[in-house]
Amino acid sequence: MMPITIDANLCNSDELCVRDCPASVLIINEKGQPPVVNPKKAKFCINCGHCASVCPTNAITLSAFADQQPIPYTTENIADYASVEAFFKSRRSVRQFKKKPLTIDEIGELIHLSAYAPSGHNAQPVSWTVLDQPKKVQELAALVIDWMDEMSTTNPAMAEKMFLSAIVYAFKNGADIICRTAPAVAASWAPTEGITPDLDAIIAATHLELAAHSKGLGACWGGYVLLAAKFSEPVRTFLGVPKDHSLHGVMLLGHPSVKYRNAPPRHKAVAEKAGEGYVFPARKNEQ
């Protein structure tokens, strides 16, 4: 089966799909006739959907998504720069959550939207583990604490540098600095081998965070869980990450119990001439 089907009755032969295909899978055999799949390049189709996206007559169907139709863009449902700027500036890392749970369907919507994040060669290699029960989230936090406690003995230099003993002490006295008592966790992981699996999983998690914000939900990166997963097999096993895969994103999720009213200040990006171009150097938050 060819990866792309073109309806000759709908195609207007504008060749937009041919020009936009990143793998040059589509070709013109006869001017004024619908494009066809080059049989020698059919295997290079990455199902990115650019051909279907650029087609103004909806003449193109991807075989991998034969049961789905393209979703039209409209000026009403695409945010302008001012809206995106306000949205980005209103995003905060939320660490205070209501006890109200999130359903697996609510989290599933966010994960589905994250599939529109870019991935290397459109490999779409990202899998997710979701903990939708607060009890399970706390079990995960406890496993991270166990690892931190162990590090205080086996790697005291690292433990001191990252204040692990203080975090363990706080947790044992009722302060969850690991998962912030979030009612849910979504963790993204991908194969160790691939085009750019690590970046793909990180970008997908970032998209999920923004999607959560758009629905009025709170999200925060679970950095301590990510760190522990690099060294702790119990943490990896609990999250269901296979041995030939790596964890790259952990998002604490829930309904925020805090309301932010202002965008905090940030240093302005300043261009500095460097070589043949420009550099926008990092502006650290120094006192």
Domain 88-254: CATH class, spelled out = alpha beta
Domains 4-65 and 88-254 share a fold: no
Helix (H) or strand (E) holding 220: strand 218-221
Helix 197-214 with 104-114: angle, nearest 10 deg: 130
Residue 286 is predicted with a pLDDT of: 64
Mean pLDDT of 244-259: 98
pLDDT (tens digit per residue) in 128-184 = 999 999 999 999 999 999 999 999 999 999 999 999 999 999 999 999 999 999 999
Helix (H) or strand (E) holding 246: strand 245-254
**Domain boundaries, given as residue ranges, for the chain:** 4-65, 88-254
- Topology of domain 4-65 in CATH is Alpha-Beta Plaits (3.30.70)
Q: What is the DSSP string of 159-225?
A: HHHTTHHHHHHHHHTT--TTTTT-SEEEEEEEESSSSSHHHHHHHHHHHHHHHHHHTT-EEEE-HHH
Residue 260 is predicted with a pLDDT of: 97
Mean pLDDT of 272-283: 95
Question: pTM of the full predicted structure?
Answer: 0.93
Percent of the chain's residues with pLDDT above 70: 99
Tokens of 273: 């001439």
How far apart (Å, rounded) are the C-alpha atoms in residues 126 and 186? 12
pLDDT (tens digit per residue) in 37-76 = 999 999 999 999 999 999 999 999 999 998 988 888 887 8
